[in-house]
Amino acid sequence: MVHVYNCHPFKSQQIVQVEQEPGLVCCGGGALFVVATGGCKVEVYNLEKEGCPLFCRFATMGTVKSIQHSKIGDYLVTIEEKNNATYLRAYTNWRYQAEEKGRVGVRLLGHLLGGASVWGGVQMEIIEIPMSERPIAVSCCPVTGDLLVGCEKTVVLFTLSRQNQQNLQNQSQQSVQNSLPNSQQSCNPSQGPTSVSHPNLSILDFERSVILHLPKMSLKQVALCGGYVAVNAELEVLVLKLEAASDPAAAEEPLETSKSAEPPQDQDDFLLIPRHQELLESKAKDCDILVTMEKTGLEDQAQYQFSYILFRRFSPEFFQGCRVEEMQIHSLQLYPLFTSNSLEDPTCVFCFFSLPTAGYLYSLKGGVELLSAYQYPEKVLQAVMSDHLLHVITKNALQCFTVRCSAVAARMEDPYIDTTMKACPPSTLEVCALRIQLFIGLRSVCVYNQRVILLSAADTETQQEPERRCLSRKWTISSPKETSTVGHGWNLYVVDTVHPFTLYQEMVEYSCRYVQTTPQSHSLRHLLSEAHLLLRACLLQTPEQKQSGQGDPAVSSKPGSNGAVDKNSATQANRQELEEALRQNSAQLGDCFSRASQKDCHLALPYYKMSGLTVAEVISRNRPPPEGPSSYGLGFLFYLKLHLLEETEQHLTQEEADEIIYIFSQSEPFLLVSVCASPCMINCSATRTLQILQRLEDTAGVSVPLTIIMAAMALRLGKQQDYTELMERHAEMQLVYGFIEEPRLLLHGGGGGGGGGGGGQHSQVHPTSLARQLANTQPGLLVAAMVALHENCKVQLEQADFVFKELGCENTLLVDFWEAMLMASSQDAVIQELLFRVASVYIDRLTNSINGSGAPKYKSLKGADDLITSCSHYGALYPWLTVLNPTHSTTSEHQEALHKLQSLLCGPSLSVGSIVPLLERLSGETLWGFSLHLLCATRRGQYESSIEQLLDRCPQAIIAYANHQLQDKYMTLWWQKLLPELCKRTRAAADNGILLGALKETLVVVAMETSPAEFLELIPDDGTASYFLPHLLTCSQRHLMA
């Protein structure tokens, strides 16, 4: 579908004063090139000056049949005929013919001239490009300046090369081509000829690099842009992508394609009608067009490989109402779009081609996609694209259509488009047609910047009245301007189009009619979307485009001021004006989508965000009219929901917050809990909100989150009794589930919203007033809720730490939280971090208790016994620790910290090596301090030194230690370490009953675990063998029984 709007894309037109009837025209580099009908002369007119004065003229070597200008290299290429022969020629340095007496040099491709062209003089050069086949069409790449020549069955690519004059002077008579990166020559028509030496001036030449054979196509047109090659026959279009081959061997292998069977020779009497086909990207290689690549034979030539990008074939039903000679594709064009972020490589590349009654625009870069299908109201003779408009000519009219180039480029430039942050109309948005400008007998059209050049040559019988019978009644027609006073039947027009920003302003003014009559019509939304894309096109313009006359004419430099500074300030002011217009347009589109259907209502959110409007301003724009229904649009409600879910520092006023609560109570009451929990709503009226929530409870029933938010409102009102009654309605675990469902009842900030558990950056969260109340009255509930939020990825560990610190509970509830996390968490990294934290806290508490600077008394939620029974990371205390632990010599807080730390060291999870440096702060002079150091040494496998230390400090615990620790693979330490140590110590202190008892129990164990021979080896030879004989007897009897 094509929308039709009565907007004015043209602002003025002028007639170029041409002496002879033009036959061919083209434009580029600020110049208009005119070839007289049947003549051999090119006249150049300056398009950048008022009235388009004649700039220069020069003769060609034959009758020009086709002419093209290349922006890169600033050269002309022509197909000429002379004496029934066809020639391909390139004209360089044509600007030096301004005085019409400059020298002209003629040379063959690859044969650089000597003499004046090298040794200082500058002259126009004509490069003869020999072709083995008759050239039919040419195209110049707007990115690299390369030349593509189409013959009937082949396509030849010539790469543009440059030779520096200084290099040529240093060379001998050898003609070595040195290919350098392309750089654009100056395209200012005001440049004049010079006779001085130009050592840095480049001399252009071409190198034949690729030959493609297409035996099954009869080529009519070719196009080249940034490695993309497009060709078309009468009913077929094929686009290829040429790339440098990474593997030269692979480049030589022909690409396999499906080949349709050749029709038998005896079927010449049948008419074969092609079927319609559209093949994109990888499927395009399945077409029946075989392409083969021929090497140029140059060893130093870069190797290429190609891939199929697009193939489309039209069947005859696409040409209904057309004569046989009209049934062919025309206006093939590859169009690059450069933006400020890609000045060398185009951001997007588009392919356009047209039938007499329809045009098709494809996007090629980043995925092939059909953007628009243009349906013409009458037969089109030619079409040409620009950044924001498509210009087409019929026999008697110039018509304009919008294009979707800016929509594609905007998405390539900004990855945030099509998210909740930003939006842009889709690239497949239906196109619109603008006002038609009538002319008489149009023949051709070309475009340079914002100027459209038209050639008209009317027949005498058609000069009276333009043909209108094919025009739709919906199309608005402008009367043709008066033709030239000269009596000839041809004219060359230069039509100036308005700047896109001016067209945007007219579209906005045009949209006001729909706002007043049908504010929710699809046409209003489409018109505002068109205006939005025009603004995008302005903002995406490159500096070169702005300097070449495509900038906003409303912002211009002041005369007499500093030019550079004034231009910069003008550009900045221009961009600020465009950005402000974009915000206004986004607000209008937000208004449209705020009441849109379920399919499109979500777009209200990003457009309102782009508008920069506050919530209050958005609400005021969406209030229902007094006389209308008091309902709110789906898009507006979606915007409010997503805005309230975001964690922002912006707090609404009481009036705004109360209005939002009223809106949701009328539209979506089941969302009231989430709305009231939003940090933006902190200023809402608690009394009014509580009344609305009570009515919701009466109608919808009791729910845990609803009860909690009602309790929070009662707390704000100071109704402590009501708060307590509401919180006691549900069990603690149910309240925890309520906090999981709505975390913002406890936390406001980055992690308290909808599951901000992931990510590398930790945004701060803050406790709510309800969380502060729980910390004072129900700390267990607060800790359980925080653990549940962490385990459900609603809050991160660092964020939870910050919350408890802000509550002033870093030494109390925070440690309880860590201990509870050890019971609940299953993440190894989190567990190790928490084990180190709690161990550090326990050591700090023990250190402070020694120094007498302990924290105020606080009873932990979980004691040591509770943690041992409920948490696997806390192990049961080893039996020998009861001997070392004091009973009444320390406080209860000290005793609890000691038992928890010992339990951690007895558990399986704590990495002992991580806390050894911390334990150095604790002295081993006390038994409880010694027990901690002994635990660490034992956990690290230092049993022998532990036995010695224990015998030195507390020998009464040695048997309990040995019974528990010296088992399995460490059993041998009973007789290898413990028995010798006891023998040595009892020999020195024979009256020590503790050592004698330990020795006796050790001998019992040794007699049970060793053989008689082994036991005999253990008896010392100091004359005390009689003491060991009873145990040796026991060992022998056990051995005999076994």
pLDDT of 206-262, one tens digit each? 999 899 999 989 999 999 998 999 999 988 999 999 988 766 555 555 544 444 444
Strands 3-4 vs 432-433: parallel, antiparallel or unpaired: parallel
**Cα(891)–Cα(902) distance, integer angstroms:** 16
Quickly list H helices, 128-179. Answer: 165-170
Quickly list H helices, 246-307. Answer: 248-252
Report which listed range, 201-210, 323-332, 790-799, is most confident: 790-799
Among 113-117, 665-669, 929-933, the minimum mean pLDDT is found in: 113-117
Averaged pLDDT, 570-577:
78
Quickly list H helices, 103-146. Answer: 116-119
Task: Give 504's contacts (C-beta < 8 A, 6+ positions apart).
Answer: 531, 534, 535, 538, 581, 585
* HSE toward the beta carbon, residue 534, CA cutoff 13 A: 28
In this predicted model, which residue has the larger pLDDT, 317 or 380? 380
pLDDT at position 1017 is 87
Residue 560 tokens, joined: 């007499």
Closest of 973, 975, 957, 963 to residue 1035, by C-alpha? 975
Quick check: helix, strand or coil at residue 194?
Answer: coil
Among 325-334, 494-503, 519-528, the minimum mean pLDDT is found in: 519-528
* HSE toward the beta carbon, residue 101, CA cutoff 13 A: 2
Contact 357, 412 (CB under 8 A): no
Give the end-to-end CA distance of the chain in Å, rounded to a whole number.
Answer: 102
Averaged pLDDT, 990-1012:
89
Task: Tell me, letter by letter, the H, E, C secondary structure of 668-682.
Answer: CHHHHHHHHHCHHHC
Contact 820, 784 (CB under 8 A): yes
pLDDT grade for 264, boundaries at 50, 70 and 90: very low
Report which listed range, 268-272, 565-569, 744-748, 1027-1031, is most confident: 744-748
pTM summary value: 0.79
- How large a percentage of the chain has pLDDT more than 70? 82
* HSE toward the beta carbon, residue 480, CA cutoff 13 A: 21
Q: What phi-psi label fits residue 869: left (phi over 0), alpha (psi between -120 and 50 degrees) or beta?
A: alpha
Closest of 353, 335, 359 to residue 409, by C-alpha? 335
pLDDT at position 757 is 40
User: Phi and psi (nearest 5°) for 474?
Assistant: -75, -15
Contact 696, 674 (CB under 8 A): no
Closest of 973, 1022, 1031 to residue 1000, by C-alpha? 1031
pLDDT grade for 298, boundaries at 50, 70 and 90: low
User: CA distances (Å), 685 to each of 582, 689, 718, in order?
Assistant: 36, 6, 13
DSSP state of 57: E
Averaged pLDDT, 975-989:
88
**Cα(260)–Cα(538) distance, integer angstroms:** 47
User: CA distances (Å), 682 to each of 565, 748, 993, in order?
Assistant: 49, 10, 75
- How large a percentage of the chain has pLDDT more than 90? 52
pLDDT tens digit sequence for 393-405: 999 999 999 999 9
